[in-house]
Structure 1
Amino acid sequence: MPAVQSRFVVRTFATLVFFSVLAGQFWRSLFGWWGYGAIALVIVVSSVVALVKLNPDWMWSRFPKSLIAFLGLATLSLAWSFYLGASLIGVTLQWATTLAALFLALCLSWAELLRTLAAALRWILALSLAFELIVALFVRQAVLPFWVDYGTRNVPESYYWTRGILLQGGPIEGIVANRNLLGFVALMAVIVFAVQLAAGTVSRNWGLAWLGLGAFVLLLTRSATVTLAAAAVAAALLFALWARRRPPEGRRPVYLVAAASVVVGGVGLVALTPQLLALLGKSADLTGRLDIWRSVAGLAAERPVFGWGWVSYWAPWVEPFEGLAVRRGVVYLQAHNAWLDVWLQLGVLGLIIFAAAVFSTLWRCWFLAVDRPRRALADTEPYAASALLPLLLLVALIAQSLAESRILIESGWLLLVVLAVITKRQQATNQRMP
């Protein structure tokens, strides 16, 4: 019984970790930065304690080398950082998020990981819809985050917690205060709930209900970024299922068609950008992203090799970030492209290492999804369904990284580390087995 109770505590804490990184803005809007900091501190300390007490079976030799190199370079950049104080904060946050990710990857079984992630996603979706409904029915006006004083100036629309327009059909921001973030959470929920349904780990009726809710929230966010990410996930799923039906030596057509699809899709995306933007309700400058990208690229070119120093979230109170990305009174704290952000902060060297970390993980996720290993990834779930999840989640993250920098911070970085570690462990397990 004590063992059962301890696993319940571990799973409950894991759900809190997933909830807090996916909906960090909920805590910040509710309790302010100091309250959020206290919650984050508890999570990081508890993660370290769990790693020590549970003593997971792990060898550092199996830790993804590219992730070690990226974290090492980010830490080493303190030596040449243009903004040492901000870099100290950024590096600390990067390591803190990594420690929470290691707790999830090393202390939970795959079945527990999937279960706790699904639970956190359900909480975010349910609370977001309840929050939007309460505001729309009773408050009937836009709501600002608590503990923030904007004075008497006009508050930009994007600073509101929610605009309260659920009954007008949205778009909605939910508890995460951003429709792109809520849309990505909804996309993840659709992926996870679909995998659970296919694996038979949830009842069919409840599974379909939550899957429908995830799709409903996804539609209400009207996020163009997430729409494109969903298309990429659908394409990855189709190619993975096709590859599964062919032996390893007969997959050349799959790879040729996939490569051609990427080229044709990229060319088509560029050629049809104006029509796609009009269809998705976006401005010709991608909601100001083109200006931000030009500014970031110009700044990165001044220190192209090693960058300006790691900072994670931009620090708007220091140069060169002060005034770097301001649009309609909104101060942006990211480059809205993870690859540009890495080039800016860690230079070409950091970009190469980051690409190695992402695409080596994608490589492992792909073969985990299409090849049945000698021992299944999941403990009790049907392998065919659960093994697709790392690939689909990572494809969604990569697609999002072209328009957002979330893969470098909070939930994006945590998920990347978790996927990198669990696929590396699975690879090592398969290689050891006769």
Structure 2
Amino acid sequence: MDPKSPEEDEVMDQFMDKFQTEKYKGAFSEDRWEEEFDNIPMFMKKAPDEIDPEKAPELACIQSMLYDGDPKEQATNYKEEGNEFFKEKNYKKAIIAYTEGIKKNCEDPELTAVLYTNRAAAQFYLGNYRSSLNDAIAARKHKPDHLKAVIRGALCYMEVKKYSEALKWCDEGLRITPSDKKLLETRTKADKLHRAAERDVRKMRQAEKKNQAEKDALLRAIQDRGIKLLDERSEEEEETSGGSLDGISSSENVTGAHVRLDEGGRLTWPVLFLYPEHSQTDFISAFQEDSRFIDHLSEMFAQDLPPWDTERKYLAHNLEVYFEDEKSPSFHQVKTDNTLLQTLQHSRLRVKAGTPSFLIFVKQCPFSTKYFSDKKVYRIRC
């Protein structure tokens, strides 16, 4: 080592004297040294989202070094950046980075496939299974045998419950790598769920077929009896030869009751009794077609009279029954000794919403006289 000249020693002594007497202007502050240290690009723990070249020229320079190369270099850098975000589980930023890499159109099938596959993985962990699947498909367009893309696509098909497609992708992947554990596990699960789904479809079709057969039998029973249905939605009469149950199947009441055909071939209807004088109703969920009105009235008004009948005048033998013909409009009295079937076969009665409705009045009471005073009424002739 060459000895220093006297001039060099003098310069060094002057520098040391100045260093001891004057504080270094570029030094870190005692209170904020950690924050300032983190602003040095080499020691940064996390890069800022946006870089201002004037405020951070060093960072802008590094960014230029990373992203101003040829398309392949740029795409590779974006891929690495996306991978770092992915490791941090910041999947949204990872997607942005991979997307920027894809936009570079680097014309390298392997790299492009990796970018699409990595973005598919990020989308998958965000629950965006359709987007993830689209990326897996895009990756295979660039590299059909890209195993990670095949696995990701199979997993996406599992999530969207397309098990047959998942099986197809698993088989394609196993042709590439027959012993891949993830594909083997996914294929086993997909096969099990696919068989279960097919079984459920068969059961559903059988149930639909049985339900349709029951509907057809019910419709024939109604047609054979000459009962007319009125579809509440269209207010149009369903002719008995029309072959439709819209008038009853579309309007099942809130109790779940609807007309049904029992094993003996007998119809049972839900029936509504209205009491206009007191604004009250009674709902009979199962009125058999061969039952008489008087039998139901006797059971309903036997001993425990309703609390709204304060005058105790609603007694079975003292009641009149009517139905409304909305086509006329008019009201028709019903013989209480008649069965429900005999009444439903009346030429002017149409069953609305699958539930026959009848109005109940006390015989010769002032309310019924007033109620029918401005209406057309067809009474029973004695």
Q: TM-score range by the shorter chain?
A: under 0.3
Bigger Cα Rg? 2
More strand by share: 2
More helix by share: 1
TM superposition score normalised by structure 2:
0.20
Q: Report 1 or 2 for greater relative contact order, CA contacts < 8 Å, sequence distance ≥ 6.
A: 1
